């Protein structure tokens, strides 16, 4: 049977759009299948709306606290509906870049509907049977819903509904203390909601450096957000029109519940068994080339259950593009994967944690920790919270970095660049504009030589004798 397309891409989110647009511009014949709207979770329910709401909440927080700078605001008021409107305006501004018309103009055939594989080489949608030299599955993920008795009956929000509400909930309980729970918890609190965050672990942001996560937690607590660690909801009931969350030791009444306990891959409707595609506990099983167990079918993004970030999906899409259109020789390399949580202060990470580094390298690990309180620009902007922690070996190899503080999500890229090109930490000690927040990186990098000198008694003795000799001349 002759193939109809060079490439059939299933899923119109970040990964799928990168593959489809690039392939079409390379003159491949491409079909792009999407069951709902192009743009994926990032545009409609994730990165774009969350950062827009976070920005509105930061403005509200700065205005509310302007008096500490001698600026007094009369009639302070928050119109939540207008803040929500800002979110939708940003989505509408960005959406044309991901529109069907744009992709059609590139030569992509865009098909809407929910299809499935009929066999290892055929995908069916809207009564059509599509064949291709290669397929790419990029169907993304959706919110995981915990099995809590009464939750469905009481009703709840996820990131797929929360950005569409027009009325601010007076009280909000968030199930989950990961990035979504912490970001939106702080945003809704700053916009006037009474927020309680339930964390099943012993810290919020459990994938992050404990010290860094503690800085974020301290800030949330200072803003009167209630955080209950080691806590899970046992069941949910309705009481006087409110949702009652039963915790065992006590109960919480709330107007709304936001569920943010993780993600599950969108794979159920694809009939992967017929395609010869295996799955595991995370999602679709792939190798380092992002091939599934069917070598003609590839997968990328959230659906494979790895790093669930838009920028990682885009990176994986480039690997998939090379392997599907040309030769399957490109492999993913996750050694340097950065990410950020956009709370205030922000928390950004790349590479190994301090514990992971010590487990791999033993005593050959140096922790270079520089507080923002020693950076003049941070003091000038009244943002002294947090620190930069760079983890290296004695030879200067950068193993990881954790920044928590103002603009951490921007500042970490200097370290990402150094790690990507395998530069030593000393490369970060070059000239930095004064006064800028980026000095936190250079100040931290200088600490390696200081620590090594402080522990080298022989070097100290030699230098002491040298300067004594110089003075005697």
Q: Are 19 and 133 in a shared domain? A: yes
Q: Are 124 and 196 in a shared domain? A: no
Q: Are 94 and 219 in a shared domain? A: no
Alpha-carbon distances of 205 from 164, 200, 223, 392, rounded to whole Å: 25, 11, 17, 23
DSSP conformation letters of 327-355: -TT-----SS-EEEE-SSSEEEEEE--HH
Stated pTM of the model:
0.94
DSSP at 381? T
Is residue 96 included in any domain, yes or no?
yes
Beta-carbon contacts of 326 under 8 Å, excluding residues fewer than 6 positions away, are none
Of the candidates 301, 292, 302, the one whose C-alpha atom is nearest the C-alpha of residue 272 is 292
Is residue 338 included in any domain, yes or no?
no
Q: Each residue's pLDDT tens digit in the chain (473 positions)?
A: 556 999 999 999 999 999 999 999 999 999 999 999 999 999 999 999 999 999 999 999 999 999 999 999 988 999 999 999 999 999 999 999 999 999 999 999 999 999 999 999 999 999 999 999 999 999 999 999 999 999 999 999 999 999 999 999 999 999 999 999 999 999 999 999 999 999 999 999 999 999 999 999 999 999 999 999 999 999 999 999 999 999 987 899 999 999 999 999 999 999 999 999 999 999 999 999 999 999 999 999 999 999 999 999 999 999 999 999 999 999 999 999 999 999 999 999 999 999 999 999 999 999 999 999 999 999 999 999 999 999 999 999 999 999 999 999 999 999 999 999 999 999 999 999 999 999 999 999 999 999 988 888 888 888 788 888 888 87
Last residue of a domain, one of 212, 243, 262: 262
CATH number at residue 391: 3.30.390.30
CATH number at residue 312: 3.50.50.60
Q: Are 306 and 360 in a shared domain? A: no
Is residue 337 included in any domain, yes or no?
no
H/E element, 8 = strand 5-10
Last residue of a domain, one of 217, 235, 262: 262
The rounded distance, in Å, linking the Cα atoms of 143 and 159 is 8
Q: How many domains does the chain have?
A: 3
Q: Are 284 and 196 in a shared domain? A: no
Is residue 467 included in any domain, yes or no?
no
Q: Are 287 and 383 in a shared domain? A: no
Domain of 188 in residue numbering reads as 151-262
Helices (H), 203-307: 210-222, 272-275
The rounded distance, in Å, linking the Cα atoms of 119 and 62 is 57
Q: Are 138 and 271 in a shared domain? A: yes
Beta-carbon contacts of 268 under 8 Å, excluding residues fewer than 6 positions away, are none
């Amino acid at each position: 049977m002759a193939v109809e397309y060079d490439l059939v891409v299933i899923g119109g989110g970040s990964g799928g759009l990168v593959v489809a647009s690039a392939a079409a511009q390379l003159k491949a014949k491409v079909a792009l299948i999407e069951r709902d709207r192009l743009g994926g979770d990032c545009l409609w329910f994730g990165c774009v709306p969350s950062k827009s709401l976070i920005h509105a909440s930061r403005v509200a927080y700065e205005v509310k606290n302007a008096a500490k700078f001698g600026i007094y605001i009369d009639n302070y008021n928050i119109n939540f509906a207008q803040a929500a409107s800002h979110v939708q305006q940003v989505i509408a501004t960005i959406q044309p870049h991901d529109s069907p018309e744009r992709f059609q103009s590139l030569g992509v055939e865009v098909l809407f509907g929910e299809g499935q594989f009929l066999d290892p080489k055929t995908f069916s949608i809207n009564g059509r049977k599509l064949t291709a030299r290669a397929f790419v599955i990029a169907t993304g993920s959706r919110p995981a819903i915990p099995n809590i008795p009464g939750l469905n009956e009481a009703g709840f929000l996820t990131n797929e509904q929360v950005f569409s509400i027009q009325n601010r909930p007076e009280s909000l309980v968030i199930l989950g203390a990961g990035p979504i729970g912490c970001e939106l918890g702080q945003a809704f609190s700053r916009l006037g909601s009474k927020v309680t965050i339930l964390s099943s672990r012993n810290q919020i942001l459990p994938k992050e450096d404990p010290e860094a996560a503690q800085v974020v937690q301290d800030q949330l607590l200072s803003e009167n957000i209630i955080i209950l660690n080691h806590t899970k909801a046992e069941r949910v009931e309705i009481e006087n029109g409110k949702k009652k969350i039963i915790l065992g030791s006590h109960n919480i009444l709330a107007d709304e519940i936001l569920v943010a306990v993780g993600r599950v891959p969108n794979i159920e409707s694809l009939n992967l068994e017929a395609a010869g595609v295996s799955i595991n506990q995370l999602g679709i099983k792939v190798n380092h080339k992002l091939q599934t167990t069917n070598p003609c079918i590839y997968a990328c993004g959230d659906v494979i259950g790895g790093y669930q970030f838009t920028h990682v999906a885009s990176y994986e899409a480039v690997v998939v593009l090379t392997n599907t259109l040309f030769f399957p020789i490109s492999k993913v390399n996750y050694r340097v994967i950065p990410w950020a949580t956009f709370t205030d202060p922000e928390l950004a990470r790349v590479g190994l944690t301090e514990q992971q580094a010590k487990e791999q390298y033993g005593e050959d690990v140096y922790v270079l920790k520089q507080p923002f309180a020693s950076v003049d620009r941070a003091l000038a902007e009244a943002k002294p919270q947090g620190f930069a922690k760079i983890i290296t070996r004695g030879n200067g190899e950068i193993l990881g970095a954790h920044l928590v503080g103002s603009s951490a999500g921007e500042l970490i890229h200097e370290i990402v660049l150094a790690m990507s090109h395998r530069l030593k930490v000393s490369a970060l000690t070059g000239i930095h504009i004064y006064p800028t927040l980026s000095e936190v990186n250079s100040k931290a990098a200088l600490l390696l030589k200081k620590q090594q000198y402080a522990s080298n008694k022989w070097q100290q003795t030699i230098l002491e004798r040298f300067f004594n000799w110089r003075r005697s001349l």
